[in-house]
Amino acid sequence: MNTNAGDGHKVGSWATYRRLLGYTRRHWPIAVLAVIGMIVDASALTGFTSLIKPMLDNLFTARDPHTIFWMPFWIVGIFSLRGLGAFMENYGTSLIGLNVVQQMRMDIFDAYLRMPSSFFNRESSGHQIARVTYTCEQVSNASTQAVKVAITDGLTVIGMVGLMLWTSAFLTLALLIMVPVVTIVVTYISRRYRRIGKKVQNVMGRVTGSVDEVVNGQREVKIYGAQRNERDRFEDVTQTARRLNMKVAITSSLSSATVQTVAAGSLALIIFMATRKPIIDTLTPGSFTTMLIAMGAILPSLKRLTGVQAGIQRGVAAAEELFEIMDMPPEADTGSQNISRCQGEIRYTDVHMRYPGAHVPALRGIDLHCKPGTVTALVGRSGSGKSTLVSMLPRFYEPSAGHIELDGRPLDDFTLAALRRQIAWVGQRVVLFNDTVANNIAYGELAGASEQETIAAAEAANAMEFIRELPNGLHTVIGQGGNQLSGGQRQRIAIARAVLKNAPILILDEATSALDTESERLIQQALNRLMRDRTTLVIAHRLSTIEHAHQIAVLDQGRVIEQGTHEQLLARGGTYAALHRMQFHDHDSALTGTD
């Protein structure tokens, strides 16, 4: 099933190489330095090997005093030069490699920042994290380590072959029969590496994902005693990772074993050929030893050169995945209208919406009109489409049919930034960032707010009372996700954020549903303050909190089935009235209690 993809790959991989090179282009002076280092490194080795012949023939056979005097200096000189070359090459490749990793990480991070919401439903967050941590490293290995081996060892092989040709062309040419064998091995191995490389990346994403889930869901794991299942699942994934990496290791050692065998065969061949009658007369002990040593020096280089395929293939597979993400279309932001503060008139006209990949639409023909400064409550069973409806206002999702207007203009007339500046949002799940309380309230574009403004917002959100009791007050760092705070406290910080934003439109998606009565009272009070003079869309579980809304829309299976004020809907005796009766009854029995 992958045969077609194989052909496409070759074209794709050239483009990938070129684009990868683009990442190093900025560092070309360092690259030049590194390449010079590689050339020096390789030629020093060839230079040393070329000293073998004079050493043997002149030092011992001819006892030439000039050679005897200079030989130690040549050797020290050559190896110092080689040391310098090796330093330049390692320094250069590390510098470029680390820069490429950082640049790639930034590019992927930037891509994540401009992706539409639907992108984040597509795959687990583990994959998204692994791309930044693991996959980027793979790319850097390809663009530096592999290149280093390719150039240094490539040049060593060329130099050595040149030296051999110069020493004895006949013997060297006789060794050419080994070329096709090496080519076959290398081709086979590179294909295999590419195949495994993709799989390794994928499985690394699953490893991160598994950890991510257990760390975030540690409570659920404990309460439901899922340690065993999670452990098994993790073992499964890591086992797959180990198995795949083992395949890489086996492929790599098989390839070097093959190369060694081929090389040993060649050595044997040299000895055999060299000892034949016409040849043996033309060879000095020096040239014969040079042939053997050059052949021996080619060996480790050839071994590394076949291994280099592993690095490059893995890196290219990694880069392909990263580039694919970078090339994904960002959120559509074609509007040009820039408003500082809208009136807040919202109109949904026959809005349909189906999530990508979903079989049934989440919304099927929503008509809703919210006058500026009024409160609209959305009620309905879970899954009826309430959250979907409100998430289309900041354009997290686009309608598949119908349209939404703000102040009489289609939403996509506005720039995304201008549109979202009009909206404050308090959701059920409050996300706090790993920063101080003050910076969590004055978040993003609100960062310029003064301390007084931040405090005023916290006061209005009934949050200041608990913030004062924190070890460093407003400047207490709350951990990632804000785990030290209770649900109600987190909610109040989110409300303070919304107060500070002071946007004309307010969206409350079950902002109070997870709270106890006391915090609910405090929060409801804060919310009532917040809703004043704003166009508010409120989704509430408890109907008691929305009785005073200007209008109530009852949703069912993506449609508005009833609409009106609390009194109108009660009088109508439909779904809302039934819901209300049920909650009232529940409330009643909760008060009386069960014996």
Ligand X SMILES: Nc1ncnc2c1ncn2[C@@H]1O[C@H](COP(=O)(O)OP(=O)(O)O)[C@@H](O)[C@H]1O
CB atoms under 10 Å from CB of 40, counted, come to: 22
Residue 362 interacts with ligand X (CB under 6 A): yes or no:
yes
Q: Which is nearer to Mg ion, 138 or 387 (CB)?
A: 387
Residue type, 488: G
Residue type, 474: L
Residue 388 interacts with ligand X (CB under 6 A): yes or no:
yes
97 binds, among ligand X, Mg ion, none (CB under 5 to 8 A by kind): none
Q: Which is nearer to ligand X, 297 or 392 (CB)?
A: 392
Site string for ligand X, 507-546 (x = CB under 6 A): ----------------------------------------
Which residues make Cβ contacts (< 8 Å) with residue 471, sequence separation at least 6?
none
Judged by CB under 6 A, the stretch of 200-208, 292-300, 376-384, 464-472 that binds ligand X is 376-384
Residue type, 400: S
Residue 524 interacts with Mg ion (CB under 5 A): yes or no:
no
Site string for ligand X, 182-211 (x = CB under 6 A): ------------------------------
Token pair listed for 99: 């820069």
Cβ 431 to ligand X, closest distance in Å?
16
Q: Which residue has the tokens 């790599």?
A: 252
Judged by CB under 6 A, the stretch of 193-201, 315-323, 381-389, 465-473 that binds ligand X is 381-389
Which residues make Cβ contacts (< 8 Å) with residue 277, sequence separation at least 6?
none
Cβ 121 to ligand X, closest distance in Å?
4
Among 385, 482, 488, 504, binds ligand X (CB under 6 A): 385
**CA–CA distance, 397 with 356 (Å, rounded to integer):** 10
SS (H, E, C) 73-128: HHHHHHHHHHHHHHHHHHHHHHHHHHHHHHHHHHHHHHHHHHCCHHHHHHCCHHHH
Judged by CB under 5 A, the stretch of 49-57, 89-97, 379-387, 580-588 that binds Mg ion is 379-387
112 binds, among ligand X, Mg ion, none (CB under 5 to 8 A by kind): none
Residue 208 interacts with Mg ion (CB under 5 A): yes or no:
no
Residue 399 interacts with ligand X (CB under 6 A): yes or no:
no
Residue 376 interacts with ligand X (CB under 6 A): yes or no:
no
Site string for ligand X, 119-148 (x = CB under 6 A): --x---------------------------
Instruction: Name which of 71, 77, 73, 78 is nearest 53 in CA terms.
Output: 71
355 binds, among ligand X, Mg ion, none (CB under 5 to 8 A by kind): ligand X
Give the C-alpha distances (Å, rounded to integers) separating 144 from 133, 141, 155, 381, 556.
18, 5, 16, 56, 58
Give the C-alpha distances (Å, rounded to integers) separating 150 from 34, 144, 304, 506.
13, 10, 8, 60
**CA–CA distance, 510 with 461 (Å, rounded to integer):** 16
Residue type, 378: L
Site string for Mg ion, 283-322 (x = CB under 5 A): ----------------------------------------
Token pair listed for 364: 């099927």
Residue type, 547: E
363, 351 in Cβ contact below 8 A? Answer: yes
Among 2, 4, 382, 517, binds ligand X (CB under 6 A): 382
Among 358, 401, 431, 578, binds ligand X (CB under 6 A): 358
Residue 433 interacts with ligand X (CB under 6 A): yes or no:
no
Cβ 509 to Mg ion, closest distance in Å?
6
415, 337 in Cβ contact below 8 A? Answer: yes
Residue 506 interacts with ligand X (CB under 6 A): yes or no:
no
Instruction: Name which of 419, 242, 425, 250 is nearest 334 in CA terms.
Output: 419
Q: What are phi and psi of 511, to 5 degrees?
A: -70, -15
570, 577 in Cβ contact below 8 A? Answer: yes
Q: Which residue has the tokens 């109508």?
A: 572
Q: Which is nearer to ligand X, 436 or 513 (CB)?
A: 513
Q: Which is nearer to Mg ion, 57 or 509 (CB)?
A: 509
Judged by CB under 5 A, the stretch of 59-67, 154-162, 384-392, 582-590 that binds Mg ion is 384-392
Residue 354 interacts with ligand X (CB under 6 A): yes or no:
no
Residue 296 interacts with ligand X (CB under 6 A): yes or no:
no
| Side-chain-facing half-sphere of 295: CA atoms under 13 Å | 28
Range list of H helices, 168-284: 169-174, 178-216, 218-223, 227-274, 277-282
Site string for Mg ion, 332-371 (x = CB under 5 A): ----------------------------------------
Q: Which is nearer to ligand X, 147 or 560 (CB)?
A: 560
The alpha-carbon radius of gyration of the chain (Å, integer) is 35
Residue 16 interacts with ligand X (CB under 6 A): yes or no:
no
92, 40 in Cβ contact below 8 A? Answer: no
Q: Footprint of Mg ion on residues 91-120 (CB under 5 A)?
A: none
Residue 496 interacts with ligand X (CB under 6 A): yes or no:
no
Q: Which is nearer to ligand X, 382 or 592 (CB)?
A: 382
Token pair listed for 180: 């096709």
103, 23 in Cβ contact below 8 A? Answer: yes
**CA–CA distance, 47 with 162 (Å, rounded to integer):** 11
Q: Which is nearer to ligand X, 362 or 458 (CB)?
A: 362
Q: Which is nearer to ligand X, 379 or 464 (CB)?
A: 379
385 binds, among ligand X, Mg ion, none (CB under 5 to 8 A by kind): ligand X
284 binds, among Mg ion, ligand X, none (CB under 5 to 8 A by kind): none
Q: Which residue has the tokens 């310029």?
A: 448
Judged by CB under 6 A, the stretch of 23-31, 178-186, 279-287, 385-393 that binds ligand X is 385-393
Among 152, 167, 387, 491, binds Mg ion (CB under 5 A): 387
**CA–CA distance, 236 with 253 (Å, rounded to integer):** 25
Please give the residue ranges that form the binding site for ligand X (CB under 6 A): 121, 355, 358, 362, 380, 382-388
Q: Which residues bind Mg ion (CB under 5 A)?
A: 387
